[in-house]
Chain A
Amino acid sequence: EPEVTQTPSHQVTQMGQEVILRCVPISNHLYFYWYRQILGQKVEFLVSFYNNEISEKSEIFDDQFSVERPDGSNFTLKIRSTKLEDSAMYFCASSGRGDTEAFFGQGTRLTVV
């Protein structure tokens, strides 16, 4: 069964460093998303991406964040200069046209020290 894969599963980075979280969406999907879950809190929408541009972003998704689909298969989330409060589980998701659900990856746990 096709699935969304995310790498790495866990990343530790120093405050102020740039990180790139990688996702491979399901191959024929057109819509891509990032969500974030701070430890002990709910899963929050960050950004949606379609046709090589951002469809919507939340207030969390400030100038420190960017997304890219560099090569037609990967979908990346970059955090330019990480802060302690960026520590969270980041979920990638994708969906196809007319799909009734978004398919989530297993997440990348980002720890900023």
Chain B
Amino acid sequence: AQSVTQLDSQVPVFEEAPVELRCNYSSSVSVYLFWYVQYPNQGLQLLLKYLSGSTLVKGINGFEAEFNKSQTSFHLRKPSVHISDTAEYFCAVSDWSGGYQKVTFGIGTKLQVIP
């Protein structure tokens, strides 16, 4: 079974400050890791994904995440946030165990960018 823990339910940060949204996962098999963003009243948009290879993954809107296998973490970072980054961010893992792809989401972190 796989699980995802997002340690912070809300993260307030001032505009142009850096931010890190934390994500830890557990799984008994190799997994793929994702970050999705959800703007108010909208659907899920894929920010970035880690499949294999380089542990630093760059995504859209200036976000990046680092896969750390020993710490089973996949934290999301942005060096300078904008007001438009205010949204909810979901960390997710997926694998093909059981013959189909199952995605497990974390509970989400609300990023509030303060002007």
Contacts and interface: CB of A to CB of B under 8 A. Distances in A.
B41 to A, nearest CB: 8
Contacts of B102: 45, 48, 56
Interface residues of B, number: 24
A35 B105 CA distance: 10
B97 to A, nearest CB: 10
B44 interface: yes
Contact of B108 (A35, A42, A45, A55): A42
Chain A: interface size category: 20 to 34
Among A104, A105, A109, chain B packs the most CB atoms within 10 A around the CB of: A104
B57 interface: no
A107 B44 contact: yes
Interface in B34-89: 34, 36, 41-44, 46, 49, 51
Interface of A: 31, 33, 35, 41-45, 48, 50, 55-56, 89, 91, 93, 95, 99-102, 104-107, 109
Interface of B: 32, 34, 36, 41-44, 46, 49, 51, 90, 92, 94, 98-108
